[in-house]
Amino acid sequence: MAIITISRGSLSGGRRVAECLCDRLDCPCLADEVLQNAARKLEVSEGAVRGKFETAPGLWSRLSRERERYVLAVQTALAEACTEGDLVYHGLAGQFLLRGLPAVLRVRLIAPLEMRIGALRAADREMSRQAAEDFIRNVDRDRERRVRSMYGLDVEDPALYDLTVNLRSLSLDAACAAIAEAAAQPAFRIGETERARHQAFAAECRQRLEESLSGD
Partner 1 sequence: MAIICICRGSKSGGRRLAECLSARLDYPILGREVLQEAAAALGVPAEMLERKMADRPSLWGRFSSMRRAYVVAVQAALAERAASGNLVYHGLSGGLLMRGAPVVFCVRLIAPMESRVRVVREETGMTAAEARGYIRELDASRSRWVEVMYGEDIMDPALYDLVVNLVSLTVEGGCAVVTRAIQGPEFSVDEDVLARLEDFRLACQVKLALAGDVELRALELDAEAEGGTVVISGEVPLRKSGRTGDRIVELARGVAGVRQIRLRVEWFDPYP
Count residues near partner 1 (CB under 8 A): 31
Q: How far is the CB of 8 from partner 1 (least distance, A)?
A: 12
Distance (Å, whole) CA 33 – CA 82 = 13
Candidate ranges 76-84, 104-112, 125-133, 202-210; the one touching partner 1 (CB under 8 A):
104-112
Can you tell me whether residue 137 is helix, strand or coil?
A: helix
Distance (Å, whole) CA 14 – CA 190 = 24
Burial class (CB in 10 A: 0-12, 13-18, 19+), 181: exposed
Q: Among 115, 127, 178, 213, which residue interacts with partner 1 (rule: CB under 8 A)?
A: 178
Q: How far is the CB of 5 from partner 1 (least distance, A)?
A: 13
Q: Among 152, 168, 192, 215, which residue interacts with partner 1 (rule: CB under 8 A)?
A: 168
Residues in 182-201 at the binding interface with partner 1, rule: CB under 8 A: 182, 184-188
Burial class (CB in 10 A: 0-12, 13-18, 19+), 109: buried
Q: Which residues bind partner 1 (CB under 8 A)?
A: 105, 108, 110, 112, 156, 158-159, 161-166, 168-171, 173-175, 177-182, 184-188
